[in-house]
Structure 1
Amino acid sequence: MKDQWILVANASMARLFRRGSATEPLSPVATMTHRQSRLKGVELATDRPGREATDNSRGANSFEPRSDVRRKEHLRFAHEISVRLDKGLANGEFGSLLIFASNPFLGELRALLSEAVEKRVRLSLDNDLTALGLAEIEARLPGPWVEAT
Structure 2
Amino acid sequence: MGKRWVLVAHRSGARLFENRGPGKGLELLQTVDHPAGKLRNREIDSDKHGRSFDRRGAGRHAYSTEQNPTMHIAELFAKQLADLLDEGRTHQRYAQLVLVADPRFLGILRTALTPPTAALVAASLDKDLGNADAGELAKKLEDLIYV
> Normalising to structure 2: TM-score of the pair?
0.92
Instruction: Please state if 1:113 is matched with 2:108.
Output: no
> Normalising to structure 1: TM-score of the pair?
0.91
Partner residue in 2 for 1:15: 15
Partner residue in 1 for 2:34: 34
Instruction: Give every structure 1 segment of 4 or more consecutive aligned residues whose post-TM-superposition deviation is greater than 2 Å.
Output: 53-57, 142-146
Say whether the 8 Å CA contact 1:8–1:99 is kept in structure 2. Answer: yes
- Superposed CA RMSD in Å reads 1.5
Shift of 1:91: 1.0
Q: Deviations over 1:3-27 (max 9, x none)?
A: 0001111111111100111111210
Shift of 1:51: 0.4
Partner residue in 1 for 2:73: 73
Q: Deviations over 1:21-58 (max 9, x none)?
A: 1111210111112111111111111421110125432x
SS in 1 for 2:42: helix
Unaligned residue ranges in structure 1 (runs of 5+): none
Say whether the 8 Å CA contact 1:12–1:36 is kept in structure 2. Answer: yes
Percent identity among equivalent residues? 28
SS in 1 for 2:92: coil
Looking at structure 1, the residues matched to 96 and 47 of structure 2 have their Cα atoms a distance apart, in angstroms, of 43
Partner residue in 2 for 1:145: 146
Unaligned residue ranges in structure 2 (runs of 5+): none
Number of aligned residue pairs? 145
Looking at structure 2, the residues matched to 137 and 123 of structure 1 have their Cα atoms a distance apart, in angstroms, of 14
Looking at structure 2, the residues matched to 113 and 85 of structure 1 have their Cα atoms a distance apart, in angstroms, of 8
Instruction: Please state if 1:99 is matched with 2:99.
Output: yes
Q: Deviations over 1:97-135 (max 9, x none)?
A: 111111201001001101111111011121111111111
Looking at structure 1, the residues matched to 140 and 126 of structure 2 have their Cα atoms a distance apart, in angstroms, of 13
